[in-house]
Copies of this chain bind each other. A is one copy, B any other.
């Protein structure tokens, strides 16, 4: 391919912090990833040890060393919209020391820079590696570039283990909880509220449902050695026709965040069990699953994963934690690939206007992965 409009510096000799800054300054809000994808593709095709695939604005590259194991190291190229926080700036923070400030520094061009650096610098890794850089992570799931690769080129994502460079403050966050939404609907019978006895109040029937949810204590479930704290919550409630009408319909929307040891059917059964007494008193009530995404087991018992954890812990003092939010690691899990998040940056600063990453974290994450891939 010809020289792209925006070019990256030499990947093998540029330190990951500088590379992060270059990547951030190529703005790439979701849907506008063309320039950065072109730059990434051009840089990777210059590496003779890599096989490169372009699909839309996703770029994949892999080593083919016939190693016993293969891992995927992945990150998305897009960001949420820029809010006056580009170009990047190097600043000094009283607590964190040197930080790189600007859109994408946390979510997640630091992780992308580390992966690009490794792709170039470790030509002969201990395990075969597939690097995946993809588009449209920050928008609706149907557009997600990793999902598209899984549909178009599933063989490219086949692996024993995957690392997603999403921000984790340099710790290892394994797997993720699943999430399910259910509507519990209570039917009633309308009437003028001046003659309430002629109707049946649907909102009143929500009382035992909300009581069961309020009384419930969520479980903590240990999966592959990590403790997943669950959550079962009403996230919405609605009902009522007018200020003088007995309502004939009321709905509470429940969100269950469930440990990756449960599948969707088990998760639904669990919610129904929690609500069993309430539902027994409400024979006309209905429970409908409106949305579900299963979680992902951390898979840290696999030897490749264990080696990674050992290297990360030794190199950076990384802690091993469960991931609570649903992330793209679940896409790997759905492909049968255990996955973890491991990247620089405080996840609570993702999407923030003052998004910023300690530069030492970028270096530490790169050191840890390099120590594992090129011991």
Which A residues are closer than 8 A to B by beta carbons?
177, 179, 181, 192-197, 201, 203-208, 210-211, 213-214, 218, 229, 231, 233-247, 250, 252-253, 255, 257, 291, 324-326
Interface centre among A177, A211, A231 (most CB of B within 10 A): A231
Cβ-defined contact, B326 with A231, below 8 A: no
Describe A's contact surface by its main secondary structure: mixed
Interface centre among A211, A234, A247, A252 (most CB of B within 10 A): A234
| A245 partner residues in chain B, CB cutoff 8 A | 235
Closest to A215 in B: B207
Q: How far is the CB of A213 from chain B (nearest CB, A)?
A: 6
Cβ-defined contact, A247 with B231, below 8 A: no
Contact of A194 among B179, B207, B210, B243 (CB under 8 A): B179
Interface centre among A204, A213, A291 (most CB of B within 10 A): A204
Contact of A240 among B177, B179, B237, B291 (CB under 8 A): B237
Cβ-defined contact, A236 with B194, below 8 A: no
Closest to A290 in B: B243
Cα distance A325–B245 in the bound complex, in angstroms: 12
Cα distance A197–B211 in the bound complex, in angstroms: 18
Extra inter-chain contacts (9) besides given A196-B257, A207-B210, A207-B213, CB under 8 Å: A193-B255, A196-B231, A201-B234, A203-B237, A204-B213, A204-B234, A235-B242, A238-B238, A240-B253
